[in-house]
Amino acid sequence: MKQTLGELMRMSRICRMVFATCLGSFILVIFYFQIMRRNPFMVDSCCRKGSRNALQELYNPTQVELSGAAVLHQTRRDQVVDACRIYSASSRKRRVLTPGDLKHLVVDEDHELIYCYVPKVACTNWKRVMMVLTGRGKYSDPMEIPSNEAHVPSNLKTLNQYSIAEINHRLKNYLKFLFVREPFERLVSAYRNKFTLKYNSSFHKRFGTRIVRRYRKNATQDALLNGADVKFKEFAEYLVDPATQRDGPLNEHWQTVYQLCHPCHIHYDLVGKYETLEEDANYVLRLVGVSDSLHFPSYAKSTRTTDTMTAQFFSNISTQQQIQLYQLYKLDFLMFNYSIPSYLRLD
């Protein structure tokens, strides 16, 4: 009888232990799914060690549907390499990059990505996406992030903030990508945004007044004071003036991609294009493994600068200015396989 009672008590303790273990496991599972529902990117940061990263998936795709895109991006990489080889052979300039040259390269540690942002090539939306990827659950929808917040430097870490050894490690092991655009469309887009919209008064004061003072005869006092009505012809004259080059680097909104992202010094694994923005952007997100929960925001096609619009602006400048502008942006045309625009007068 005593033995039976002891066995019953022992069985009761075992049952309580099993019940407690099951209950604890159940609570953990509930907690995990609550976390995952709020932060679908948590799995990437916690489980990355044993899985393939985006760089491996790009060069050795495990998904058949990604193979065609891999071929396309190999062609784009080859185009950059060929253009850089030609430029290197014809140029006497040789330089080594410093950390200061890397301030446009945004780093995502969790997904092992480096993104070089180019203004006027959907960079606001890309910064929003990078904030979602690096936010560890702070953000889930890119479009919930205000555009001005996307441009706050402290919200994203850039490669120039690392030591030389850390920079070299990331350049070797992380997937590096950038997005480019037809150079003159990007240029006209920058002009329209910075010089024709009233709210960009800081650009009017900083650049507009200087342009008016240098290139407009009989400028009014209001134009000299506010610089709010810069003509595209004056802007073009400013860009090709040797004095502008002596002033220092061009502003990032009209600086060449060659100077912003240094594609002849940094081997970019993926070159996306504004003309195929949605397709290329979502390809990056598929490589990262987050395409089920994160999509690149669509953009307002009605307000974008088009080829027809660009041709109209270029019709208002001289043949000499057109030739000089093409020379300024020539490397961007060559590296990223953009044809010479049909409206350009180069004879």
Task: Give the pLDDT confidence of 198-208 residue by residue, as tens digits.
Answer: 888 999 999 99
Long-range residue pairs from 293-301, CB within 8 A, at least 24 positions apart, any chain: 293/40, 293/41, 293/140, 294/40, 294/41, 294/129, 294/132, 294/133, 294/142, 296/125, 296/129, 296/142, 297/125, 297/128, 297/129, 297/142, 297/143, 299/122, 299/125
* CA pair distance 204, 214, nearest whole angstrom: 14
Instruction: Let me know: does 260 contact 116? Beta carbons within 8 Å.
Output: yes
Each residue's pLDDT tens digit, 302-312: 678 999 999 99
Q: pLDDT tens across 213-261, in order?
A: 999 999 999 999 999 899 999 999 999 999 998 999 999 999 999 999 9
| Model confidence band, residue 326 (pLDDT cutoffs 50, 70, 90) | very high
Average pLDDT score, the chain: 86
Quick: pLDDT tens for 7-35.
545 555 655 654 555 544 444 434 333 43
What the block records as the tokens of 300 is: 């307002």
Higher-confidence residue: 23 or 111?
111
